Structure 1
Amino acid sequence: MSQLSLFQKRIHDEIPLSRALGIQLHSWDGHSLLLSAPLEPNSNHQGTGFGGSVYSVAVTAAWGLTELALWDLGLRGNVVVQSGNIDYLEPVTSDFYVICRLPGEEIPERFRKSLARHGKGRLDLTAEVFCGEPTTMPEGDPVAVFQGRFVVQDVKSRITF
Structure 2
Amino acid sequence: MHGTTPPSYDVPASHLADLQQVLERDIPMCAQMAIEVVDYTAGGLAVAMPLELNRNHQQTAFAGSLNALCTIAGWGTMYLVLRRLELQGTIVIRRSSIKYHRPVATSRVSARCLPIDPQSEQHFAEMYLEKGQAKLDLVVEIPGDDNPAVYFAGSYVVTRP
Task: Tell whether the structures are fold-level matches, with TM greater than 0.5.
Answer: yes
**Which one of 46, 49, 54 corresponds to residue 42 of structure 1?**
54
Cross-structure match for 1:52 = 64
Which 4+ stretches in 1 moved above 4 angstroms? none
Cross-structure match for 1:130 = 143
What is the alpha-carbon distance in structure 2 between the residues aligned to residue 5 and residue 114 of structure 1? 28
Q: State the Cα deviation string for residues 39-91 of structure 1 (Å, max 9, x = none).
A: 11110111111000000000000011011101100011000000011100010
Query: SS of the counterpart of 2:53?
Result: helix
The CA RMSD over aligned residues, in Å, is 1.8
- Cα gap change, 1:3/1:78 in structure 2, threshold over 3 Å: closer, same or farther? same
CA contact (8 A) 2:60 2:104 kept: yes
Q: State the Cα deviation string for residues 115-139 of structure 1 (Å, max 9, x = none).
A: 11011101100000126xxxxxxx7
- Cα gap change, 1:105/1:49 in structure 2, threshold over 3 Å: closer, same or farther? farther
TM-score, with normalisation over the residues of structure 2?
0.85
CA contact (8 A) 1:35 1:61 kept: yes
Within a 5 Å distance, the mapping from 1:105-120 to structure 2 comes to: 107-120=120-133
Cross-structure match for 1:24 = 36
Q: State the Cα deviation string for residues 3-23 of structure 1 (Å, max 9, x = none).
A: 211210111010010011111
Q: Percent identical across equivalent pairs?
A: 29
Q: State the Cα deviation string for residues 96-154 of structure 1 (Å, max 9, x = none).
A: 101102332665222111011011101100000126xxxxxxx7321101101001001
CA contact (8 A) 2:54 2:61 kept: yes
The letter for the 1-side match of 2:81 is A
TM-score, with normalisation over the residues of structure 1?
0.85
Cross-structure match for 2:20 = 8
